[in-house]
Amino acid sequence: MKYKIGQEVWWARFETSESSIECPDCAGKGHIRCIMGDETEVTVDCQNCQVGFEEFSRGRIK
């Protein structure tokens, strides 16, 4: 028998859970509206919540 009756045994384990928050830069929209010097508006993808290999911004940060 590997363990004796009443012997304290420790069991190590690891668990993960994924969580995310709304992006503070784009407020969860996935894009940012920029007003240029000549008052024209341009919409660009949010770089804060975009994962490098994906083509779109999620609007959330992990």
User: pLDDT digits over 27-51, tens only?
Assistant: 999 999 999 999 999 999 998 888 8
Q: Which amino acid type is present at position 61?
A: I
Which residues, listed in sequence order, are joined to residue 34 by a DSSP beta bridge?
42
The domain spans of the chain are 19-62
| H-assigned helices in the chain | none
Closest to 1 measured CA to CA, from 9, 11, 26: 9
In whole angstroms, what is the distance from residue 30 CA to residue 55 CA? 11
* pLDDT on residue 60: 87
- Mean of pLDDT values over 10-31: 92
Residue 55 confidence (pLDDT) above 80: no
